């Protein structure tokens, strides 16, 4: 039976682990320790799903699967949506 997944900030992680992730939050790589946990967990899940030994290989296999399943958006569509959302970039 599937249970709802709670936001990572609401799960207990050992304080020592939270402190190891805190610098990544403070330097802006993540918005919170919970986000860092979520991103890390997703990377591990990708490695397990695609049988990859590293993140680059997992990403490559994920992209191949997406292309094979024709489950992707054209880059121009994605960039147009980003420009609309965030405005034109300054050069």
Considering the domain boundaries, does residue 27 fall inside one?
yes
User: How many structural domains is the chain composed of?
Assistant: 1
Considering the domain boundaries, does residue 26 fall inside one?
yes
* pLDDT tens readout for residues 35-74: 998 888 888 898 898 888 888 898 888 889 888 998 888 8
Considering the domain boundaries, does residue 21 fall inside one?
yes
Please check whether residue 52 is in contact with residue 61, taking contact to mean a CB–CB distance below 8 angstroms: yes
Average pLDDT, the chain: 83
Domain extent at residue 61 = 12-86
What average pLDDT score do residues 73-87 get?
A: 88
């Amino acid at each position: 039976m599937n249970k709802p997944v709670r936001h990572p900030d609401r799960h207990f992680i050992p304080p020592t682990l939270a402190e190891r992730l805190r610098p990544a939050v403070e330097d802006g790589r993540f918005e919170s320790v919970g986000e860092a946990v979520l991103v890390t967990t997703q990377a591990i899940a990708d490695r397990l799903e695609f049988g990859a030994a590293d993140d680059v290989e997992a990403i490559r296999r994920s992209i191949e699967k997406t292309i094979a399943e024709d489950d992707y958006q054209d880059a121009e569509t994605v960039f147009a949506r980003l420009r609309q959302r965030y405005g034109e970039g300054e050069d």
